Amino acid sequence: MSYEAVVFDNDGVLVEITDWDVLRGAARDTFASFDVDPSDEDLATVLSSVTVDGLEAMCARHGLDPEAFWHERDTNYTTVQQREVVEGRKPMYDDASVVRDLDVPLGIVSSNQHATIERILDHYDLREHFVTYYGRQPTVEDVRRKKPHPHFVERALEDVGTTNALYVGDSETDVEAAHAAGVDSVFLRREHRADYSLSVEPTYEFETLDPLVDLV
């Protein structure tokens, strides 16, 4: 099959994932700004795979406003990840250069912060290759909209002008979001996903981005 557009996840697909210790430090800094000494459970709640229910329950335990806490958390995450990019600790994957060879509209949909995605695109001189890109704004509402919800994938598909598209990601939520939006999926099994189990079936499974050239 030949596809008319490709939409990518970002972390673990185009650029390497951020070191967990860096993110954990940013989460601790967030709690410190509210004079809270977090438990391991508190840190786990806001470190990754965040849900609105979990966030609101944690904030209720500590008497925090969820919107204010989350804005601070995402701002801190953006700050440290932008630094990781600029200082060379969050590089592009070598095969991500394929985006320069795909002669179809391209997009990005990430559960990372929008400001983080913007810095990545500018730092690696990629912005001109993408018709559209979406990350989250630092709001609780955008936590509700993140993958596997198809909200941002559907917006990207509108921007690229077709649903005859592929969504490429490295997690189960990526596959779920693609299929919820009505498009085919690529699960990218990079080294950090070697032992990752899926309970959903992607349309394709690749170890690199190189096979995309033959699909568009």
pLDDT digits (tens, 9 = 90+) for 149-174: 999 999 999 999 999 999 999 999 99
Can you read off the two tokens belonging to residue 4?
A: 């008319």
pLDDT at 72 over 90: yes
- Residue 91: the pLDDT is 98
- Give the pLDDT band (50/70/90) at residue 1: confident
Closest CA to 187 of 208, 170, 209: 170
pLDDT at 18 over 90: yes
How many residues in total does the chain contain? 216
- Residue 40: the pLDDT is 97
Domains and CATH numbers, the chain: 5-17+91-214 (3.40.50.1000), 20-86 (1.10.150)
Kindly report the number of other CB atoms within 10 A of residue 65's CB atom: 11
pTM, rounded to two decimals: 0.96
- Give the pLDDT band (50/70/90) at residue 25: very high
pLDDT at 21 over 90: yes
Q: Which helix (H) or strand (E) holds 38?
A: none
